[in-house]
Amino acid sequence: MSNRLEGKNIIVTAAGQGIGKATAIAFHSEGANVTATDLNDKTLAELNKEYPKIKVHTLDSTDNNAILEFIKDIDKVDVLFNAVGFVHHGTILDCEEKDWNFSFDVNIKAMYFMCKAILPLMVRQKIGSIINVSSCVSSLKGFPNRFVYGTTKAAVIGLTKSIAADFVKQNIRCNSIAPGTVFSPSWQDRVNQSPDPVQTKKDFIARQPMGRLGTAEEIAAMAIYLASDESTFTTGNTFSVDGGVSI
């Protein structure tokens, strides 16, 4: 532990598993005071049991009223890490209006709600860092059967750049991370639910130029940099951590 984030108050969404969990743990290991939120209270309880000093709070990031209630007793937030996301499979012809609405609610509206709620605290502090999880499947690259997912993740990049431009004078930074395919429980679920899990896994790996999946910890490593004072001259950028997919 190098204490790169010592004393920083950080909120992490979707912290129950995958990238969110790995990042919450990484922030904690670097000395931050971490509040981990997730809709799944069971996975949060498991995280808290393993890391008792990480505060946990059950929170639906798509519920603005719940978010506003959550932040009532919060005085200071140095870093907000938005990791909530959902992957819809299919082309535009497979995307019904309900799929479109659900994907936008989870992948972009949740970030809008969280950013809007936390930004006033950062403005008052005159400092802050917001980190949003986008994807290499976005405005960076088109992928087959990821129509609405890619659309929402492109919107995350737009949201990130807009916030960065609007609040740069207030010393508030906003950046996004664009992961490639990362080994996670949600990825494993998608593989297992496919008609041929063995072939699906091979296909996922085959499209990665490095010949392997990423790890949640590799995404967390980039998040540490963006949360730390090492990146104080960095804002409005999207950092690809994708094993070469977007080359």
Catalytic residue status for 112: no
Annotated catalytic residue within 51, 112, 149, 225? 149
Residues in the chain: 247
Structure tokens that stand for 180 in this block: 């490639």
Integer Cα distance of 87 and 123 in angstroms: 33
Q: Is 75 exposed, middle or buried (0-12, 13-18, 19+ CB in 10 A)?
A: exposed
Residues serving a catalytic function are 149
